[in-house]
Amino acid sequence: MLNKTWCLSPHNKLAIFIQVISDRVVRNLLESAMNLEVLCLHYCLGSLTSLSIQTKAPALRILRLQRVTPWMTNDDLTILTENCNLVELSLSGCKLLDSNSQDIISSGWPNLAILHLEECGQVTIEGVSSILNCKGLEDVLLRHTGRGIGRSIIDDAIRELPLLRKLALDLCDACEDGYDSPNEVEGKMIRSVRMSRCKTLRGSCLGVPREGSSKPVHKDTVVLEWSSRRITTTIVQERL
């Protein structure tokens, strides 16, 4: 059995890391902690299903689900929008989501300030137009969410999102093999843009590559940062 590494803080925040959990555990937590504002589930194991998110959580503002809800569909997202009023949403590993998920997110939580989506199916296969409808977004991360993001995404995001400070993208999602550098940022809130690049890693057995086993893994990240009117560009190996 895994050791418990979770607690409910006096500030109504709950984070659970690498634990065996169930629908009953999550529902009991949500029902008993009606003032819960932050819920983070990271890499948890167990029999979690869509039943766990069908509990009203009127005080919940921040929801981070990291590799715990691979079964999440657009219907589940709709239920979440009906049960809580979020300002931050972070999802990873939700491979069943598609381009319609954008409309659900933007219409259900129009006041989002932070949106992080990683390994989330085909959310951006048709671009990011609905995401840009969340005018209060300050921090956006889109990584491995569908090869449909156009070259002008950085300029589009800076223009359409007046409060945007951070933007993180992955070149794997570019439909035209890259993104254009921003043309004009003076007077804007943007402070950093990160563009991750991947390389192909082939699986092997005893050092012999296996056909069809290639997969993208992080290579490096191009970081653009603005300080006053200056822009600096660096390339780092870390996965930012």
Tokens for 59? 């005080």
Token pair 């919940």: residue: 60
Question: Mean pLDDT per segment of 10 residues, for the chain of length 240 residues?
Answer: 45 85 88 89 88 91 95 96 97 97 97 97 96 97 97 96 97 94 86 93 50 74 86 85
DSSP 232: E
Structure tokens at 232: 């600096």
Residue 202 has what pLDDT? Answer: 65
Residue 5 confidence (pLDDT): 47
Domain boundaries, the chain: 69-191
